Amino acid sequence: MEDGPAFFEAVRTLGLEGVVAKQRHSPYLPGKRTDSWLKIKTRQTTECIIIGYTRGKGDRAASFGALHLAQARDGGLNYVGKVGTGFDDPLLKQVMDELKKLDVIPRPIPEKPVDDARSIWLNPRLLCEVQFASWTKEGALREPVFLRLRPDLTL
141-151: per-residue pLDDT in tens? Answer: 999 999 999 99
- Report, as an integer, the average pLDDT of 23-38: 83
Judge whether 125 and 151 are in contact, CB under 8 Å.
no
Residue 15 has pLDDT above 90, yes or no: no
Within the chain, all domains assigned CATH 2.40.50.140 are found at 44-149
Burial string for 98-112 (b: 16+ CB within 10 Å, else e) reads: bbeebeeeebbbeee
- Nearest partner of 15 among 48, 41, 49, 39, judged by Cα: 41
Residue 67 has pLDDT above 90, yes or no: yes
Determine the pLDDT at residue 1.
60
Determine the pLDDT at residue 125.
96
Q: Under CATH, domain 44-149 is a member of which superfamily?
A: Nucleic acid-binding proteins (2.40.50.140)
Judge whether 88 and 98 are in contact, CB under 8 Å.
no
Pick 35 or 71 by higher pLDDT: 71
Judge whether 99 and 64 are in contact, CB under 8 Å.
yes
Confidence of residue 40 (pLDDT cuts 50, 70, 90): confident
